[in-house]
């Protein structure tokens, strides 16, 4: 049985911190769930860390569905959240409903995530009313990269901070079951978390959120040349994987792999008969 949005709310009510992380494929999802993480986000961050795009903007619905389906196959208990990519929900309500429905129906995810605050409240409300659970996302909204002129901390002025608080309240009132707070000062995140009844999930927003979400590639150190300030590298897989592959390549070149251990053999009688037949 997968974690439900009601159980997620219960974690908030009991002041139990909520860990959340991204995954984009079957094998990684299995490892994440086995590690006890209750919520997995198939984020449009896959555009950057999996597909090599500069931003999340080029990610398509088909790509989200493709990767989410793999994550769903690899899990049984985790709540799977699928990102709604850029321009899959912004243009009109009809498109938002159709696209969110397709994502859930075809991928097997349990909810979708939508970027945007007060201006997205009507969209969130419409989706929730027809039975599609929605996680909100305010602060830095990566799909607005071009409008925001890059990835910057949001809410540093009084006007911006007040708007973030209003956005959070608006998202909750629209029916979202939770909201991601990305790259906002921890003081604002604390105020928002205190005002909201629904869980807040922070990324680069300090310690006062009800939960935290991170991009798995950052946590595992998959890119040796990139380490966001808001993330902590728990291991250095880039070096570990690189050294392992280097060793494999050297053993192949030196004739040390494969050995009899990694090979398969015919039964002796079959081999002898085969040789006799060839010689005949």
DSSP code at position 165: H
How many of the other CB atoms lie within 10 Å of CB of 101?
15
Query: What is the DSSP track for 85-104?
Result: PTTSSSS-HHHHHHHHHHHH
**Catalytically annotated residue among 62, 182, 187, 243:** 182
* DSSP strand pairing (200-203 vs 79-83): unpaired
Distance CA 280, CA 269 (A): 16
Distance CA 248, CA 250 (A): 5
Residue located via tokens 């159709």: 98
Judge whether 129 counts as a catalytic residue: no
DSSP code at position 55: S
SS3 state at 107:
helix
| Catalytic sites, residue numbers | 182
């Amino acid at each position: 049985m997968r974690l439900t949005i009601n159980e997620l709310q219960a974690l908030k009510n009991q002041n139990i911190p909520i860990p959340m992380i991204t995954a984009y494929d079957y094998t990684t999802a299995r490892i994440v769930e086995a590690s006890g993480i209750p919520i997995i986000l198939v984020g449009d961050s896959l555009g950057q860390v999996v597909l090599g795009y500069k931003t999340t903007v080029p990610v398509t619905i088909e790509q989200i569905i493709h990767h989410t389906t793999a994550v769903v196959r690899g899990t049984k208990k985790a709540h799977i959240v699928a990102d709604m990519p850029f321009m899959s929900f912004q243009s009109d309500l009809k498109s938002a409903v159709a696209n969110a429905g397709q994502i859930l129906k075809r991928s097997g995810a349990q909810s979708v995530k939508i970027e945007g605050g007060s201006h997205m409240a009507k969209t969130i409300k419409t989706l929730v009313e027809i039975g599609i659970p929605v996680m909100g996302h305010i602060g830095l909204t990566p799909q607005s990269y071009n409008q925001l002129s890059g990835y910057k901390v949001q809410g540093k002025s009084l006007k911006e901070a007040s708007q973030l608080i209003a956005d959070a309240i608006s998202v909750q009132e629209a029916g979202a079951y939770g909201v991601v707070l990305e790259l906002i000062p921890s003081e604002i995140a604390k105020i928002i978390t205190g005002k909201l009844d629904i869980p807040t999930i922070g990324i680069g927003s300090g310690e006062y959120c009800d939960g935290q979400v991170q991009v798995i590639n950052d946590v595992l150190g998959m890119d040796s040349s990139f380490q966001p300030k808001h993330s902590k590298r728990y291991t250095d897989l880039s070096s570990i994987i690189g050294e392992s592959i280097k060793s494999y390549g050297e053993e192949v070149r030196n004739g040390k792999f494969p050995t009899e251990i990694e090979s398969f053999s015919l039964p002796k009688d079959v081999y002898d008969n085969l040789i006799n037949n060839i010689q005949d």
